[in-house]
Amino acid sequence: MGLPEVKITFTSKANTAMKRSEQGVVLLVLEDTTSSVAATVTEYKGFENIVDKDWTPENYDLIEKTFLGSPSKVIIVRRGVAAENPIADVLAKVKNKRFNYLAVPGADTADTTALTTWIKARRDTEDKTVKAVLANQKADHEGVVNFTTEKIMVGEKEYTAAQYTGRIAGILAGIPFTESATYFVLDEVTGIEEKEDPNAAIDNGELILVDDGEKFKIGRGVNSLTTLTAGKNKEWQKIKIVEIFDMVKDDVRDTFNNKYVGKVPNIYDNQLLFVIEVNNYFKLLQDEQILDNKADNKSWIDIEALRAAWKEIGSPYADLEDDKLKEMSFGSTVFLSGAIKAVDATEDLQFKITA
């Protein structure tokens, strides 16, 4: 069944997790008519590869700001005139592109609404791990970062929140798993429109810039999620934690798709071998301090889901004891569950001193 290859794949993914976390990809959509061809898609691995005459001065500046965050790659979509190229058509051209953060600095209200719907559908329905940085969009979703700081000054030039979404996306794409965006310093910024109540803004799911008297930095690395549920607790509000969840999901799914689907008989022994390798992968992530080494990070065969599947077709297997049932594979489906605890960055201090 090729188990050694699966083990090697998981080991490689775990060992490169730290490196990969610093090499996120930004998808940047720019309204630009420098080229006569609308909605072209070009990938760049460094700002030095950008030719200024290929873009308007404004967009050239926004591209440079995006690369300041050190993403491994920026995929730029030249939208052309927005009125002639609906955002839905633009998104259709990049549906199969793999990226971490999407930013559309020129997005209007209608675009922002459509982008939010698209990101939610991609994550909730299609199970993709894409995210977006949007301006002033209370999406209430872990896949959307709601950036709301306005009147951002860089020297004498002023930027809106929308214009700075690429810069924020670049930052988020380049931060390693051992760090968070909280208190990330934007050295180029010289002024902002400060929030009257920064704490209330953050609690409202807003990613904001704050002035500490010496420098301008991100207040706290949060996404727009504010409505908590049993399936999405407070952890899901942190950008860093969602990044880890997304990486684990991609690694497990990609390995299963590439090494198991269509290649391995669906029997209990093979399922168990895959579970063992997933758990070994979790152990390696614990060693990297990506997952909490004090938590029980494990996967297992989902007996309840398996029993429900047999029960739905009226099979007597549904009445078997757990130990017997777990060995009865169901068609081509592998039913697994798991639990992990991602490690957050140090951000808060409570220090009581008694004199």
What long-range pairs does 195-203 form, CB within 8 A, spacing at least 24? 195/148, 195/149, 201/148
Rounded Cα–Cα distance for residues 37 and 98 (Å): 23
pLDDT band at 36 (very low <50, low <70, confident <90, very high): low
With residue 145 as reference, give the H or E element that holds it: strand 144-147
pLDDT band at 351 (very low <50, low <70, confident <90, very high): confident
Q: What number is the average pLDDT over the span 289-312? A: 95
- Give the CA distances from residue 288 to residues 15, 175, 246, 251, 345, in Å, rounded to whole numbers and listed in that order: 8, 15, 17, 16, 13
Determine the Cα angle at 318 with ends 316 and 320, to 5°.
85
Question: 218 Cβ partners below 8 Å, 6+ apart?
Answer: 168, 171, 181, 182, 183, 184, 186, 207, 208, 209, 210
pLDDT, averaged across the chain: 92
Per-residue pLDDT of 82-92, as tens digits, reads: 888 899 999 99
Rounded Cα–Cα distance for residues 98 and 41 (Å): 13
Per-residue pLDDT of 200-234, as tens digits, reads: 999 999 999 999 999 999 999 999 999 999 889 99
From 2-11, 162-171, 211-220, 281-290, the region with the lowest mean pLDDT? 2-11
Q: What number is the average pLDDT over the span 254-261? A: 90
Rounded Cα–Cα distance for residues 39 and 30 (Å): 9
Instruction: Write out the two tokens for 127.
Output: 């199970």
Write down the pLDDT at residue 59. 95
DSSP 22-82: T--EEEEEE---SSSSTTEEEEESSGGG--GGGS-HHHHHHHHHHHTT--SEEEEEE---G
pLDDT band at 39 (very low <50, low <70, confident <90, very high): low
Instruction: Write out the two tokens for 153.
Output: 């000054």
- Give the CA distances from residue 177 to residues 129, 246, 288, in Å, rounded to whole numbers and listed in that order: 16, 12, 9
Residue linked to tokens 């953050």: 202
Going along the chain from its start, the domains and CATH numbers come out as 23-174+183-218 (3.40.50.2300)
Q: What number is the average pLDDT over the span 49-63? A: 92
Q: What number is the average pLDDT over the span 127-134? A: 96
Q: How many C-alpha atoms does 73 have within 13 Å on its Cβ side?
A: 13
Write down the pLDDT at residue 35. 74
